[in-house]
Amino acid sequence: MTDLAHSATRRRASFGGWLIADRQRVQTVVTLFVLVLMVVVFGLINGRFFTVTNFQNLARNTAPLIISACAMTAVMVARGLDLSVGSVLAASSVVAASLAVKGVPLPLAFLGGLVFGGLIGFANGWIIVRMRVSPIIVTLGSLNIARGIAYLITPSAILVGLPPRWSDIGTSNLGPFPVPILIALAVVAVYAWISRRTKFGKHIYAVGGNEEAARLSGISVDRTLIILYVLSGVMAALAGIVLSTRVGSGDPNIGIGFELAVIAAVIIGGTSLSGGEGRILGTVIGAVIIGTLSNGLNLAGVEPFWQYVAQGMVLIAAVVLDRRVNEQVMRLGARS
Partner 1 sequence: MTPAAEPLAATPLLRVAGLSKQYPGVRALNEVDFDLVPGEVHCLIGENGAGKSTLVKIIAGAQKPDRGTIEVRGQKTEIQSPRHAKDLGLAFIFQELSVVNGLTVAENVVLGSEPGSAGRFDKAAAVATTRQALAGIGFDSLDPNARVGTLSTAEKQAVMIAKALCANADVIVMDEPTSPLEEQEVQKLFAVIATLKAQGKGIIYVSHKMREIETIGDRVTVFKDGARVATLPRSAISPRELIRLMVGRDLGDIFPAKARTPGRAILEVRGLSGARIHDVDLTVRAGEIVGVAGLVGAGRTELLRSIFGADPVAQGEIRVDGERLHANAVRAAIRAGLGLVPEERRAQGIVPVLSVFDNVLLPWNEFPASRRFKGTPDAVASRAIDSMSVKTPSLAQRISALSGGNQQKVVVGKWLTMNTRLLLLDEPTRGVDVGAKREIYRIIDDLAKDGLAILLVSSELSEVIGLSDRIVVLNGGRVVGELPGNASEAAVVELSMIHGLGASTGSEA
Least distance from partner 1 to the Cβ atom of residue 158, Å: 42
Q: Which stretch binds partner 1 (CB under 8 A): 35-43, 105-113, 123-131, 197-205?
A: 197-205
Q: Which of 11/307 has CB closer to partner 1?
A: 11
- Taking CB under 8 A as the rule, does residue 5 contact partner 1? no
Q: Buried b / exposed e across 137-173, counting CB within 10 Å, b at 16+?
A: ebbebbbebbbebbeebbeeebbeebeeebbebbeee
For residue 209, what are the contacts with CB-CB under 8 A and spacing of at least 6?
275, 276, 277
**Alpha-carbon span 250 to 151, nearest angstrom:** 11
- In degrees and rounded to multiples of 5, residue 152 shows phi and psi of -65, -35
| 219-238: contacts with partner 1 (CB under 8 A) | 219
- Taking CB under 8 A as the rule, does residue 102 contact partner 1? no
Q: Which stretch binds partner 1 (CB under 8 A): 36-44, 210-218, 287-295, 315-323?
A: 210-218
Tell me the torsion sign for CA atoms 180, 185, 191, 193: negative
Q: Which stretch binds partner 1 (CB under 8 A): 179-187, 207-215, 248-256, 306-314?
A: 207-215
| 177-196: contacts with partner 1 (CB under 8 A) | none
Q: Which of 18, 55, 122, 200 contacts partner 1 by CB under 8 A?
A: 200
- Taking CB under 8 A as the rule, does residue 326 contact partner 1? no
Which is nearest to 247 in space by CA: 64, 73, 101? 64
Residue type, position 280, single letter: I
Residues at the contact surface with partner 1, assessed by CB under 8 A: 3, 7, 21-22, 197-203, 205-206, 208-210, 212-219, 276-277, 333-334, 336
